[in-house]
Amino acid sequence: MTTAFLLAVALGLDHIVGEPRNAFHPVAWLGRLIAPLDREWSDRDRYQRLAGVPIALVVPLVPAAAAAGFVLAAAALSPLVGIAAAALVLWLTISLRSLLELTDEVVRATAGSAAELETARDRVRGLVGRDTASLSPAELRSGALESAAENLADGLVATLLPFALLAPFSLPAAAAAAAWVKGVNTLDSMLGYPSKPHGTASARLDDFVMWIPARLSAVSIALAAGAPLALRRAAAWARTPPSPNSGWPMATLACALSVRLRKRNVYDLNPDAELPAPEDGERATSVIRVAAIVSAVISLALATGVAVLAAEFGTVDGPFIADSILLEPLLALPEVVQWS
């Protein structure tokens, strides 16, 4: 059950501790590495886009190599130290608590004084990158909920899923995969804008990497809300946002809570419903928290299935097996049934 233990530790650390301060956060260090690359490499967009290709391909390898090396070095000291190092890497690649706390803050502020409403405008501007000066309190809540739904995919599932799938085979590989995905996400968040041609490759890579996590997040939201049919309804609007992925968790949350989520002149999700009230914001953060657990359970189930199949076909054999204690009793089940 090593994989389950690692996921539980990482999620527990995020819930209890949250994110480290920027001075101690590897993602902030990566941001400082990327910052000098965010420049004009040519006066022609075509060459700008070409310059962005090696950036997209090479930069995520830096955190991946660092994470794998860290876990390998820790495992050389002791297997338990290696397991602790892998849990630490996973924790550093997820970020759920901080954004949900910010969402709660925005929701409360929209129901408060004029000064608190201005604080909500500032917070939402940082979350979703849109002009909030003319937005109503309900539209501010919509922006916060959209960001919370999207962050379930970007800030949790995107790194949790590959880590879980690889952990039964190799903890260094699992840590590297989580760090690589976080590198891709960070590049996209810094460079992936239409106004930055050198970020086109990073944005396309992020679109590819996030395809499965976004849809798994939508499934998790629907299950967490007790509204599995919300997925079917969400399909009508999930493709309307410019991103090929973010619409799925956002539209599913809108349908699951029977609220409208809208970005003016860009998309309108579940448009027949009302924009979220303060109590809808509170329900949304509760659903996202439960969806995080659901996504971890789904990831663990998928990882266990893959590991069992790999062991059955004789491909699980090496020095970094993390779940042999789990696999052996599972693989022995057919013999137990036969003799019973």
pTM over 0.85: yes
What does the pLDDT read at residue 322? 53
Q: Count up the domains in the chain and report the number.
A: 1
- Spatial neighbors of 13 by CB under 8 A, at least 6 apart, are 87, 91
Among residues 34, 100, 20, 97, the alpha carbon closest in space to that of 63 is found at: 34
Q: What amino acid occupies position 296?
A: A
Q: What is the domain extent for residue 133?
A: 2-38+46-339
What does the pLDDT read at residue 129? 74
What does the pLDDT read at residue 126? 79
Q: What pLDDT, in 10s, does the model give residues 184-215?
A: 999 999 999 999 999 999 999 999 999 999 99
The segments of the chain whose pLDDT lies below 70 read 1, 314-340
What does the pLDDT read at residue 7? 95
Q: What angle do CA 247, 14, 244 make, to 5 degrees?
A: 15
* Burial of residue 332 (number of CB atoms within 10 Å: 0-12, 13-18, 19+): exposed
What does the pLDDT read at residue 125? 85
Alpha-carbon gap, residue 207 to 188, rounded angstroms: 9
Is 3:164 a contact under the CB 8 Å cutoff? Answer: yes
What does the pLDDT read at residue 24? 80
Is 266:242 a contact under the CB 8 Å cutoff? Answer: yes
**What is the token pair recorded at 325?**
């204690």
What does the pLDDT read at residue 65? 98
